Amino acid sequence: MNIYPWFLQSHNLLRWLLLVTALISIIMAYRGWFLKKRWSKTDNILGVTLSSLADLQLLIGLGLYFFLSPFTKPAMKNMAEAMKNAELRFYAVEHLLIMVIAIVVIHIGRTKSKKAETDLARHRLSAIFYSIGLILILSAIPWNRALFL
């Protein structure tokens, strides 16, 4: 039984849920920041959901990366050759590295917003860090494959 297609499809579908959650979180954070809204339970839940979805996406991605992907297996065997091939380099190095950085940035934003002393600071920190995380994620999605899977 080949579980690669199931993992890949889960990774692809979860991506859209993560992107939508990130967009909603960012919109609410900027709204709270610019309109000087109170930090609400909804804002907190969005941050928890965003970071949790990012973590789940990372776990599925790591399963693909280390155990299942037909792209990373050959790259791992000869990394020097993989660096010469743009597609292999993307999956073996760039995608993983940028996505891990994006998830770390999201978590930093979540942690800093929790520790902030004012509602304005919570919204501002969430808006900034979640936006950076989303930009990183968008830059590392394999868009040539993303729309069809």
The structure's pTM equals 0.93
**In whole angstroms, what is the distance from residue 19 CA to residue 22 CA?**
5
Q: What pLDDT does 147 receive? A: 56
Q: What pLDDT does 100 receive? A: 98
Q: What pLDDT does 58 receive? A: 98
First to last CA, the chain: 20
Give the helix ranges, DSSP H, for 35-118. Answer: 41-63, 72-77, 79-82, 86-89, 95-115
Binned average pLDDT, 10 residues per bin, the chain of 149 residues: 92 97 98 98 98 98 94 88 91 95 98 98 98 98 72
Question: Which pair of tokens denotes residue 113?
Answer: 């917003």
Tokens 């609400």 found at: 40
Q: What pLDDT does 1 receive? A: 77
Q: What pLDDT does 71 receive? A: 83
Give the structural domain span for 69.
4-146
Contact 110, 51 (CB under 8 A): yes
Q: What domain count does the chain have?
A: 1
Half-sphere exposure of residue 135: CA atoms within 13 angstroms, side-chain side: 7
Q: What pLDDT does 93 receive? A: 94
Q: What pLDDT does 11 receive? A: 96
Q: What pLDDT does 115 receive? A: 97
Contact 113, 125 (CB under 8 A): yes
